[in-house]
Chain A
Amino acid sequence: MADLSTNPATVRPDPSLGGLFVAALKRELLLSLRRKSELVNPLIFFLMVVTLFPLGVSPEPGFLAQLAPGVLWVAALLATLLSMDSLFRSDFDDGSLEQLLLSPQPLFVVVLAKVLAHWMLTGLVLTLVAPLIAVMLFLPAEGMPGLMLSLLLGTPTLSLVGAIGAALTVGLRKGGVLIALLVLPLYIPVLIFGTGAVQAAVTGLPLGGYLALLGALLALGATLAPLAIGAALRISVSG
């Protein structure tokens, strides 16, 4: 053992927290890529809402341009919320979660990796697709940077907060509705500042304030949410 740990040439994976984080991230991404149908669900939802909206309200460009920031943000928020329920569900069902909780490694590292993987496959994808869909809603070109930046800063917070709800409800058979009830109030600040940023960008006002607030929410979420998620998972498994 002694010479193993001192010899960097051995194939032993990095036992540090960084190594664990990378291993967890890889595992989550691999699992998601092997379950492709769930992968495209949030994206399809996002697309459907945005394409159906003009049909239901009015296809008039000026009117749609006015609604676009709100519609895009609400659609992104609900798409994230819909994908939340499955975050810990399969781990809970097959006993992987028990093994995770019995690991001597700190729980928040794995939890943070899981949330990051979730965000990369929902929030990040939505952020990249958003400009394309914004064009369908006649959002002026000046609004695009605001839209991209606010989604980039806002959607990770949605994933982090949603994961707390998912962790609390994973022990219940029907947790879906409960997650929405628990989490939606906490999503509202992100929604307000996110749409605010897009509207400011459209009218040519400075974005800095909105982005700073979204960034502050993200910093708060990234530091505190993993601990809350870990505690919630212990409660759910204990029950």
Chain B
Amino acid sequence: MRSLRSAWQVCLHNLIRLLTSSRFFVLLLSSFAVYAYVILPLVDLGKEMNEPINALEPFIALGNPRLLVFLYGAVIMLLFCDVPIMEDSHNSLIIRMSRRSWLGGQIFYIVLTSFLWVGMIFLFTVLVVAPRSFWANEWSYVINTLAYNRGLKIQIHIWAYVNANIVSNITPWAAALHNYLLLSLYAVCIGLLVLLVNLRHTRALSVIVVLAVNIEGYMAMAFVDENHPLRIFLTWIAPFHHAWLDQHNFTNRWGFSPAASYAFFLLLNTVLALIALARVKRIDLLPDTRR
């Protein structure tokens, strides 16, 4: 019980620190990019077609373009670049708990912030389209048209939509739920990777490691032929691919299905957290600049 209370205090301390930091507000501005490049084009197209869109569709469209998922990874890296937060200001917290409770608090912070961050994006995308959208569990005419009409997508230069793979296999509610969970688990994965590297090394190295992990997934798509064993392997080990909703096979549960991605993230995140917990006994609890 005391360990949980300790972990919660560390998490709370970090959250308050994040919410009052200028970095958080800069990252919030990225929402406006989402608005300009994802939401607005869909809304405008709906207006042109005189058809409402589903309130969840802009959020689902976020998990569709490869570049957007890649950029999302970069934003998350910035969000967590300073974990574990180990400033002098943590001294009076740390002395009241064990090393593992302290690290547990940092992990708790990463998990909570990841789910809150994606939740915030979700709310933002829903709220701005709410007045001109519907909530029924069916795809809008706009998205249906975009999903099956490649010519239209090219003609109107729209790049964030929902692909036929998703539209034809799952409902908007299921797609939104998958997108929420996959993006959150991906954020947890990036946060834990940063945490693990930062525990022993400088922050610069964690940036390189996370970028390398992200780029690996991105490059596999760009440079390796489809169905090549290397591409299949790289796809399976890249967190980036597991976060990318459109990559999933919704008909074959034994293929690259959402269930497989949840299992991948749960396993990877658990392993990363356990390694971090094992390492924390042997590290100096000093700010990055002093190590």
Asked if A and B bind, the verdict is no
Which A residues lie at the B interface, using CB under 8 A? none
Which B residues lie at the A interface, using CB under 8 A? none
